[in-house]
Structure 1
Amino acid sequence: MTRPLSFFSRLIDNRDGAVAIIVILVAVPLLLAVGASIDFIRAYNDRVDLQSAADSAVLAAAAKYEHGMPEARISGTVNAFLSANGTLKTAVIGKPEVSSDEAELCLDVGDAVPTTFMQVANIQSLPISVRSCAALPGVKQLEIALVLDVSSSMIEENRFAPMQTAVAGFLQAFSSNASLVDKTKISIVPFSSRINIGMANTTWLKSYNGAAAVPKRWTDPKSVYTSSSYKLGYWIDGITPVMSTSKNYYWMGCIEPRADVEVRDAGAIGAYGMSDAPPTTSAFVAMDANPKSGTSFCPPPVTPLTGDFAYLKNAVKSLTSEGSTRLDAGVVAGWYTLSPKWQGVWGDKSSPAPVSDSVQKVMVFMTDGEMNTKYDPNDKFDWICSQTQSSACNQVATSAMQSACTAMKKSGIEIYTLSYSADADVVNIRNCATNSAHFFTASPATIKTVYDAIAAAIRGNTLRLTQ
């Protein structure tokens, strides 16, 4: 009886058997290679997840960092975050590293991904490791000027109260952040027809056009507003008066824009009109010196930089709305509160910091309108229109505004702009911004969301991944 051939013997005897052997010999390593690639893909995906978790953990720790914080507290935040995200099961977390200048926090995290196919080759796991670094906001000082259009259209079109709510939320975003609150100062700059320097700063004024440096209307408003329909009140600073009726507010303390005075004097805007020069370099002129603007509506006073968030919130709550729209005046006044040239001018506690890598200066400029100069000499009249007594004067003032925006950006000030109406001058408001991503549009229904987004963007510039 013939013994049956084995499987391999039959393959050898069979002409096709040799091919089958080759296929088998090639298939085994090919299958191992495919399996290994699957294991490596799994390891790569796990590494991506680990990097994301580490990034989130280091940002969370950076947000809570305080000067000289012990390593154990930093690790506690990191571990709590990674544990909550299910990352601590097998991961090995390195010691948090704070740079010597406390500008950056770094973290190394490692893990091992179990293999499946590669176990055939006795490879039980693949090691993965990530490194994540974040800037520490605790060493970044923030100075923010909130420039707010309070012209008549804001109240007439029911935009005023939503704006106040939105700005209050913006302030809350910084006052409630433990790592930023002590490093943040904010100014409130209301503007309409003019800007108001407040009665605490009357030494900044000079006599002009035959008028006293400090008008009697400011120091003795009852002598001018004699009707019983007027009620005397004061700004939250306790010294800047307002005479109000059931419909109107007449604040004391407004100045003529420097550009207007220069045009009246020399026929063109000069060296100081749209600059950040302090009053010690170029004194201001009271609004009353221009008899055609002395009766224009005046907004409440500028609140210079302060970290007193209760005072800031009270200032926003106490704002009133009246007057036309001089965008250029608002932009320049915002610059006054941020420029290092004004150190000591607003008072020591409100002094803008010198420009440095540790200071971030930001202006957030909001308006619901377009430039509205007064160019009729028979009515209210802005001196900036002395050479162009027509609607073309608006372009003169708008060009001046843009020159100030450009100079501010060159000086290192970041500018966000917000168009709060379909009637606003969107093109020029956008051009004033640092870039298109710093320009926003809003309505009464969305303005709070927009201010929240801007606050998040500013905080994000101080709290960010660096690796």
Structure 2
Amino acid sequence: MPMPPRLSLLSRLIDDRDGAVAIIVILVAVPMLLAVGASIDFIRAYNSRTELQSAADSAVLAAAAKYKSGMPEAKIAKTIDAFLSANGEFETAVAGKPEVASDESELCLDVTDAVPTTFMNLANIQSVPIGIRSCAALPGVKQLEIALVLDVSSSMIEENRFTPMQTAVAGFLQAFSSNASLVDKTKISIVPFSSRVNFGLPNTGWLKSYNGTAAVPKRWTDPKSVYTSSSYRLSYWIDGVTPVMSTSKNYYWMGCVEPRADVEVRDNGAIGDGMGDAPPGTSAFVAMDANPKSGTSFCPPPVTPLTGDFAYLKKAVASLTSEGSTRLDAGVVAGWYTLSPKWQGVWGDQSSPAPISDSVHKVMVFMTDGEMNTKYEPNDKFDWICSQTQSSACNAFATAAMQTACTAMKKSGIEIYTLSYSTDADVVNIRNCATNTAHFFTASPATIKTVYETIAAAIRGDTLRLTQ
């Protein structure tokens, strides 16, 4: 009896099941292989996108480092294209127009590319498009003015702290001179202090006669007439004008002045405006020689006013000498003189402090290894500031005056970092002078270089950082 047609068909399918399975496997395998291949292509595209992001980030950071206000778009693009083309993997990458924020706070860039496919090419998909966006902060500070106030009293050399300090400060200068985005925008002053502060012989016009003495002492203009012994050697500061008579142990620099506060206490019994930032045209200075019991105190090398000549600054630091006691108040106020807009034109046009504005960042970095050391013995060296308090209480009086200056500087918009360089230093008052506790540091000869590096990084801030 013949089989029904349906059963006959089923029987044939059963008999041919191996072939049918093969066809099904083939039909299923093709899209599976394409899916696996596509995932491989997408992984390659993802890796390329990551590499493109890194290359674009580097290009944007480089452009940000060279950016100056109002720079043409073409010049920014040239830097970016140079960085991208230097990376051979992205020869086909297309960079969009550099975008500078309206407030010049940020630089952004869009970059696109296409990654060729291998497996997806079977489905007629030749490439996978990739795109990234990279943004970097532009240096927000248009100009930096930094006063490095350095204690060069005798203890610095006696306790082997002097040379490490010089090395650390040289490193601080290098941190700015080697930064392409800041080197043309940064001016730094060097303000050494000990018993007094030295303005140098180029600035004798700031002096007035006082206490029966000439405005400019003969000792300064003719030092050999005073230092007659053959043990003294005459040489000059790097300004080529300010003389020093030195022996194998001591340096006698010319050019130091009495602190204004000292003169006011001697004249009036109290400090008036002596801890302020008045320029010499408003309040002339008095040569230290006018004080017969202070005129022979050790005088530090001259102040170097604001300059962007980093070679000169490094030479000034390398040429410093160490001697004398510690008048913290004199150092603080002298640092202010180099930053105060009231002194515009006083130091010379190239060293003139800029007006206070949002485009100028003014900073003082004050370093000392000691505490206030006024001289109050009437029969010995005698600081006029102690005229009313001829005892150790004079140190507290002078320290309070220093804090008055620190407070006024901070109110004027000057940021203050302070550095205590020994366990003998007056930590409390040094810290109180700083803008806040985060601006106060302690150091030793082993760590001072790192501390100055940290302060330099803090001042530079995030001038070169990615924002996206």
TM-score range, shorter chain: 0.7 to 0.9
Q: CA deviation at 1:446?
A: 1.3
Q: 1:358/1:462 Cα in 2 relative to 1: closer, same or farther (>3 Å)?
A: farther
Q: Which residue of 2 aligns with 1:15?
A: none
Q: Which residue of 2 aligns with 1:450?
A: 451
Partner secondary structure for residue 428 of structure 1: helix
Partner secondary structure for residue 461 of structure 2: helix
Residue 326 of structure 1 aligns to which amino acid in structure 2?
A: R
User: Contact (CA 8 Å) 1:64, 1:179: kept in 2 or not?
Assistant: yes
What does residue range 33-52 of structure 1 map to in structure 2 within 5 Å? none
Partners of 1:372 and 1:51 lie apart in 2 by 58
Aligned pair 1:304/2:305, yes or no?
Answer: yes
Partner secondary structure for residue 366 of structure 2: strand
Q: Which residue of 2 aligns with 1:98?
A: 100
Q: 1:247/1:406 Cα in 2 relative to 1: closer, same or farther (>3 Å)?
A: same
Q: Which residue of 2 aligns with 1:186?
A: 188
C-alpha offsets along residues 165-187 of structure 1, whole Å, 9 cap, x if unaligned? 11111111111222221111111
Q: 1:59/1:248 Cα in 2 relative to 1: closer, same or farther (>3 Å)?
A: same
Partner secondary structure for residue 255 of structure 1: strand
Partner secondary structure for residue 440 of structure 1: strand
User: Contact (CA 8 Å) 1:107, 1:133: kept in 2 or not?
Assistant: no
User: Contact (CA 8 Å) 1:143, 1:184: kept in 2 or not?
Assistant: yes
Q: Which residue of 2 aligns with 1:353?
A: 354
User: Contact (CA 8 Å) 1:58, 1:134: kept in 2 or not?
Assistant: no
Residue 349 of structure 1 aligns to which amino acid in structure 2?
A: Q
Provide the aligned C-alpha RMSD in A. 3.2
Residue 191 of structure 2 aligns to which amino acid in structure 1?
A: V
Residue 201 of structure 1 aligns to which amino acid in structure 2?
A: N
What does residue range 30-429 of structure 1 map to in structure 2 within 5 Å? 58-67=60-69, 69-71=71-73, 74-75=76-77, 94-100=96-102, 102-107=104-109, 132-136=135-139, 140-271=142-273, 273-429=274-430
User: Contact (CA 8 Å) 1:191, 1:325: kept in 2 or not?
Assistant: yes
Partners of 1:239 and 1:213 lie apart in 2 by 17
Structure 1 stretch 90-99 or stretch 168-177: which is displaced more? 90-99
Q: Which residue of 2 aligns with 1:8?
A: none
Q: 1:202/1:443 Cα in 2 relative to 1: closer, same or farther (>3 Å)?
A: same
C-alpha offsets along residues 339-366 of structure 1, whole Å, 9 cap, x if unaligned? 0000111111111011111111111111
User: Contact (CA 8 Å) 1:135, 1:466: kept in 2 or not?
Assistant: no
C-alpha offsets along residues 418-467 of structure 1, whole Å, 9 cap, x if unaligned? 11111111111111111122111111111111111111111125445677
Partner secondary structure for residue 169 of structure 1: helix
Unpaired runs of 5+ residues, structure 2, are 1-48, 115-127
User: Contact (CA 8 Å) 1:149, 1:325: kept in 2 or not?
Assistant: yes
Residue 393 of structure 2 aligns to which amino acid in structure 1?
A: A
C-alpha offsets along residues 96-141 of structure 1, whole Å, 9 cap, x if unaligned? 21245645323457999xxxxxxxxxxxx9x99767351335x611
C-alpha offsets along residues 178-221 of structure 1, whole Å, 9 cap, x if unaligned? 22211111111000000001001111111111111111111111
Q: CA deviation at 1:378?
A: 1.2
Q: CA deviation at 1:78?
A: 5.3
User: Contact (CA 8 Å) 2:369, 2:425: kept in 1 or not?
Assistant: yes
Partners of 1:422 and 1:58 lie apart in 2 by 45
Bigger Rg over Cα: 2
Q: 1:191/1:70 Cα in 2 relative to 1: closer, same or farther (>3 Å)?
A: same
Give the TM-score taking structure 1 as reference length.
Answer: 0.80
Q: 1:48/1:323 Cα in 2 relative to 1: closer, same or farther (>3 Å)?
A: farther
What is the number of residues matched between the two proteins?
413
Partners of 1:377 and 1:85 lie apart in 2 by 74
Residue 157 of structure 2 aligns to which amino acid in structure 1?
A: I
Partner secondary structure for residue 208 of structure 1: coil
User: Contact (CA 8 Å) 2:63, 2:76: kept in 1 or not?
Assistant: yes
Residue 297 of structure 2 aligns to which amino acid in structure 1?
A: S
C-alpha offsets along residues 4-53 of structure 1, whole Å, 9 cap, x if unaligned? xxxxxxxxxxxxxxxxxxxxxxxxxxxxxxxxxxxxxxxxxxx9999999
Q: CA deviation at 1:291?
A: 0.8
C-alpha offsets along residues 368-408 of structure 1, whole Å, 9 cap, x if unaligned? 11111111111111111111111111111111111111111
Q: 1:377/1:461 Cα in 2 relative to 1: closer, same or farther (>3 Å)?
A: farther
Residue 250 of structure 1 aligns to which amino acid in structure 2?
A: Y
Partners of 1:416 and 1:87 lie apart in 2 by 46
Partners of 2:188 and 2:154 lie apart in 1 by 25
User: Contact (CA 8 Å) 1:276, 1:341: kept in 2 or not?
Assistant: yes
